[in-house]
Amino acid sequence: MGQAHDYAKVAFDLIDDLDRLTEVDRVMDRVSATLSDFGYTSFLITGVPEPPQRLEPYILLNGWPKGWTEHYTRSNYYADDPVAAWCRRTVNPFEWSQAPFDATRSPRAAEVMAVAREFGLNKGFLVPIVRNTGFQACVTMAGERPDYEPRAKRALHLVSMYAHARCAALMGCKSDGQRRRVLSERERDVLAWAAEGKSSWEIATILGVSERTVNWHVEQSKKKLDAVTRTQAVIKALRSGEI
Amino acid sequence: MIHVITSANRHLYKPELLAHFRLRHEIYVVERRWTNLAHPDGLERDQFDNEDATYILASENSQITGGSRLVPTTRPHLLSEVFPYLASVRGLPRAVDIYEWTRMFVVKSRRDGRTMGGQTRGMVICGVLEHCLDNGITSLTALIEMFWLPLFHSMGWNLIPLGLPELINGEWSIAVKMAIDENTLASTRAFHGIAGRVCVATQRRLVTGITA
């Protein structure tokens, strides 16, 4: 980006425009255009689950170079990706090169970074986004020679928060699990104890209600979460941040 | 429940306000280490805790569990006096129907556990909104840490940044203007699972405070 460019103006223009965009494809185009102004040729907006969960189901907008996501998935890089690991530990934006890893201890981490460079993901910048449920998301971007000016980074910090929010709103908030809670407080209590391995009888004793009531809450939760079994309901509730 | 304390009913809430200043010391000076706010009396009060300030306090079993402060933007306030440079891109909006929202806190015991922590915070935020809508306040300005943005976005709020993020007390922070209306209150209630009004009427207490 040239000297004449005003980082703040670029960021604020994008934020103003995002509100008016109602189609994900348009958001994709608009965000791509802004990021390329900062020297980033590709980007990804995604939820960042804890491994062994996989990344792919949580991707909101995929602007990576052709073939990279496929290779990343096939090689199961997510569990060893040092950038993703650091994203899950911080709320502050960082350059990819700042994500710590020990190349001798974790050769896989070094491999992820090396292969990424082969795909043109040379230098990168990541903005973590902490969701209300404690679930992490991020906007991560890369290019050959991006603009690492502090003022550019601050503008990108802002841009990323709004770009993610717009995508999440348009796509029903996949990265946040279910944004709106569907379970009642009692149903959450019951499933939380079930997640601890407690039986209906035990949960009934803990909560001071009848076993029948506990089972009824479980049945209601299963319906609401579209789950067939109790275990599936617990897993779905955990994933969506209900418990 | 949520209590709204203004200069009109402040005399009824002396112990509660004192407890709240003590909690703020606990949270901002001790826990968050904003040491420039430290005062030997163990109460965290600044120049904006004056008669223009409105306090929104959450209570549970006669204990203060959370709170917030609103200051009119037509008077000196944090963004106008201390951090005007945070609004350097869009400028600082000041009007009778715009208040500055500061000192949003939830006590530690109500922050753990997913339902309760979120619930107290939700009550305070709904209390702020109810008070604003009751009193014709159409926008709030605030200095917030960047990591709060996703929460407000998820609650359906319209946040307009006033400048680029800056590092303040070690956290990336930003000045925003928040346009609020009935929809903001409805989506915030839905987000937190709050069914109805959280603010209690203070009139009853005002009446009992007057001796015949």
Cβ atoms within 10 Å, residue B22: 15
A104 CA: distance to closest CA in chain B (Å) = 33
Write out chain A residues lying below 8 Å of B164, CB-based.
7-8, 11, 151, 154-155, 158
User: Whole-prediction pTM value?
Assistant: 0.80
Interface test with A, best of B86, B112, B145, B146 (most A CBs within 10 A): B146
User: Which of A125, A136, A113, A132 shows the shortest CA–CA distance to A55?
Assistant: A136
User: The domain spanning residue B187 has which CATH number?
Assistant: 3.40.630.30
B57 near B198, Cβ under 8 Å?
Answer: no
DSSP A76-128: T-GGG-HHHHHHTT-SS-EEGGGS---TTT-HHHHHHHHHHHHTT--EEEEEE
Mean pLDDT of A201-222: 89
Which residue from B118, B164, B190 is facing A154, i.e. has the nearest CB?
B164
Q: How many domains, in total, are found in chain B?
A: 1
Q: Which helix (H) or strand (E) holds A137?
A: strand A136-143
Q: What strand order describes the sheet that includes A59-63?
A: A59-63, A42-47, A136-143, A123-130, A94-95
Model ipTM value: 0.88
Through-space distance between the first and last CA atoms of chain B, rounded to whole angstroms: 29
Interface test with A, best of B85, B116, B172, B191 (most A CBs within 10 A): B172
Q: Which residues, listed in sequence order, are joined to residue A137 by a DSSP beta bridge? A: A47, A129
Q: How many CB pairs under 8 A join A and B?
A: 67
For residues B143 and B79, give the distance between their C-alpha atoms in angstroms, rounded to a whole number.
7
For residues A57 and A240, give the distance between their C-alpha atoms in angstroms, rounded to a whole number.
13
Domain spans, chain A: 7-177, 181-239
Contact B163 A8 (CB under 8 A): yes
Q: What is the pLDDT of residue B212?
A: 40
A154 CA: distance to closest CA in chain B (Å) = 6
Burial A126-151 (b: 16+ CB within 10 A, else e): bbbbbbbbebbbbbbbbbeebbeeee
H helices present in B3-148, as ranges? 14-24, 78-81, 114-134
C-alpha distance from residue B67 to each of A57, B5, B34, B107 (Å) = 38, 11, 18, 9
**3-state DSSP percent of chain A in helix, strand and coil, to 5:** 55, 10, 35
The second-level CATH assignment, the architecture, of A181-239 is: Orthogonal Bundle (1.10)
Mean pLDDT of A49-56: 89
For residues B24 and B18, give the distance between their C-alpha atoms in angstroms, rounded to a whole number.
10
Contact A165 B115 (CB under 8 A): no
Which residue from A9, A15, A188 is facing B161, i.e. has the nearest CB?
A15
Quick: pLDDT tens for B7-28.
999 999 999 999 999 999 999 9
Which residue from B118, B153, B161 is facing A158, i.e. has the nearest CB?
B161
- Segments forming the whole domain that contains residue B177: 2-206
| CATH level 3 topology of A7-177 | Beta-Lactamase (3.30.450)
For residues B188 and A184, give the distance between their C-alpha atoms in angstroms, rounded to a whole number.
17
User: Which of B57, B53, B54 shows the shortest CA–CA distance to B1?
Assistant: B57
For residues A153 and B173, give the distance between their C-alpha atoms in angstroms, rounded to a whole number.
14
Mean pLDDT of A172-178: 47
pLDDT at A207 over 90: no
What average pLDDT is seen over chain B? 90
B57 CA: distance to closest CA in chain A (Å) = 22
Quick: pLDDT tens for A112-158.
999 999 999 999 999 999 876 667 899 999 999 999 999 999 999 99
pLDDT at B211 over 70: no
Quick: pLDDT tens for B151-196.
899 899 999 999 999 999 899 999 999 999 999 999 999 988 899 9
Write out chain A residues lying below 8 Å of B163, CB-based.
8
Residue B212 lies in a domain: no
